[in-house]
């Protein structure tokens, strides 16, 4: 349900702009001939009959990095660390990316982009046989450990991004851009199993939420095939963001329950690099595929909040985490 809340505005905006574009295209007179009037302006072709709208739809397959090396489970009988947050590795998650761009013949353009992934997950199961004496210590805040005979761990996260950019083509291969971007990144860590003192179930749920708002600059460059059916484009973006970060840590077993939360606002950085190849089927349709890398620094990760939590004296938000994503994309491009 949360994802629908974010996708609905993006789809509504895209459909509205598409309808406007089609209406404008039908209202504009079509050029009947080309020739000497198709001159170069600022090094790029000016064609009154060229497509001025571009819509893209891509499937994303991205893998995200593990969390920082934070101890979660310890064996006092060894003594040794049994499980760290860095051991919870993620597989590839699937998502979608939607884009709509309008560009006039002079090279000025407006671009809307949205993407979302909510399928990143990792898990681990630690039985009592993993401990020398059958009991391990689970960290639930910066001082408290709970003796457990068995534990299961689930680590999930989701990432949504929406942006609006102004673009200006300097020539037929280089286009700088600048715009505003919003990013919603949520991290969830959950531990459950059997607590040793009361021989009953326990659960510990830690949630870290980052809402980022800021500006970015970037470059879009055509590396190959400016006049061919096969083209390769490279894209780089970077920006600073105000991150409204928050964390909640809730522990409960058959005898005790603890809860703590905290929030703060600080600066975070987001960078993105991608390479996309496209095969022009005809004047209006192209198949696309590529590879992209994105990284966020200065964000709150869920496992990091365990050490930032103090159920007795108060908590803070650990924003020292980083998120690194990389993977492939494939989709369709439509021009008109």
> Burial, 105: exposed, middle or buried (Cβ in 10 Å; 0-12, 13-18, 19+)?
middle
Query: How many other CB atoms are found less than 10 A from the CB of residue 293?
Result: 15
The whole-number average pLDDT for the span 221-246 is 92
Confidence of residue 191 (pLDDT cuts 50, 70, 90): very high
The whole-number average pLDDT for the span 35-64 is 66
Confidence of residue 105 (pLDDT cuts 50, 70, 90): confident
What's residue 153's pLDDT?
Answer: 97
pLDDT top residue among 201 and 228: 201
Tokens 């007795």 found at: 312
pLDDT of 196 higher than 50: yes
pLDDT tens string 315-335: 999 999 999 999 999 999 999
CA 192/CA 153 separation, integer angstroms: 7
Confidence of residue 30 (pLDDT cuts 50, 70, 90): very low
| Of the options 2.60.40, 2.20.28, 3.40.50, 2.40.128, the CATH number for the domain spanning 2-27+48-335 | 2.40.128
Least confident of 38-42, 221-225, 254-258, 290-294: 38-42
**Beta strands in 65-199, from DSSP E residues, in sequence order:** 71-75, 80-84, 92-103, 108-126, 136-139, 145-168, 174-195
CA 116/CA 197 separation, integer angstroms: 43
pLDDT of 236 higher than 70: yes
Q: How many residues does the chain have?
A: 336
Least confident of 36-40, 305-309, 329-333: 36-40
The whole-number average pLDDT for the span 275-296 is 95
- Estimate to the nearest angstrom the gap between the alpha carbon of 235 and the chain centroid: 16
Q: Which of 57, 56, 63, 53 is nearest to 22 (CA)?
A: 53
- What are the CA-CA distances from residue 177 to residues 21, 102, 165, 166, 225 (Å)? 21, 13, 6, 6, 21
CA 126/CA 244 separation, integer angstroms: 34
What the block records as the tokens of 282 is: 């005809």
What's residue 68's pLDDT?
Answer: 87
Q: Which of 331, 274, 329, 333 is nearest to 61 (CA)?
A: 329
CA 127/CA 16 separation, integer angstroms: 54
What's residue 50's pLDDT?
Answer: 60
pLDDT of 58 higher than 80: yes
pLDDT of 33 higher than 50: no
What the block records as the tokens of 181 is: 């971007």
What's residue 41's pLDDT?
Answer: 41
CA 222/CA 281 separation, integer angstroms: 18
What's residue 9's pLDDT?
Answer: 47
Give residue limits of the domains in the chain: 2-27+48-335
Contact 57, 332 (CB under 8 A): yes
DSSP 141: S
pTM of the model: 0.83
């Amino acid at each position: 349900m949360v994802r629908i809340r974010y996708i609905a505005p993006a789809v509504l905006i895209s459909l509205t702009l598409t309808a406007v574009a089609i209406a404008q295209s039908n209202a504009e007179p079509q050029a009947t001939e080309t020739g000497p009037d198709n001159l170069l302006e600022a090094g790029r072709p000016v064609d009154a009959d060229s497509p001025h709208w571009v819509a893209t739809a891509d499937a994303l397959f991205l893998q995200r990095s593990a969390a920082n090396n934070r101890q979660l489970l310890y064996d006092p009988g060894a003594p040794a660390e049994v499980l760290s947050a860095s051991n919870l590795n993620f597989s590839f998650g699937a998502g979608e990316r939607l884009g709509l761009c309008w560009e006039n013949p002079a090279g000025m353009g407006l671009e809307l982009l949205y993407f979302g992934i909510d399928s990143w997950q990792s898990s681990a199961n630690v039985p009592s046989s993993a401990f020398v004496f059958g009991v391990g210590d689970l960290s639930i805040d910066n001082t408290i450990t709970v003796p457990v005979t068995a534990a299961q761990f689930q680590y999930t996260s989701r990432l949504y991004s929406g942006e609006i950019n102004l673009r200006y083509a300097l020539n037929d291969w280089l286009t700088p851009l600048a715009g505003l971007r919003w990013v919603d990144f949520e991290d969830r860590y959950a531990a459950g199993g059997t607590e040793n003192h009361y021989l009953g179930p326990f659960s510990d749920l830690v949630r870290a939420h980052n809402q980022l708002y800021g500006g970015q600059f970037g470059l879009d460059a055509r590396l190959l095939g400016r006049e061919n059916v096969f083209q390769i484009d490279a894209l780089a973006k970077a920006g600073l963001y105000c991150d409204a970060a928050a964390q909640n840590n809730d522990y409960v077993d058959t005898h005790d329950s603890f809860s703590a939360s905290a929030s703060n606002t600080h600066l975070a950085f987001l960078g993105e690099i991608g390479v996309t190849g496209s095969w022009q089927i005809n004047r209006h349709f192209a198949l696309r595929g590529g590879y992209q890398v994105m990284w966020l620094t200065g964000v709150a990760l869920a496992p990091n909040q365990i050490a930032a939590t103090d159920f007795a004296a108060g908590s803070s938000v650990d924003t020292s985490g980083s998120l690194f994503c990389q993977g492939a994309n494939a989709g369709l491009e439509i021009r008109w």
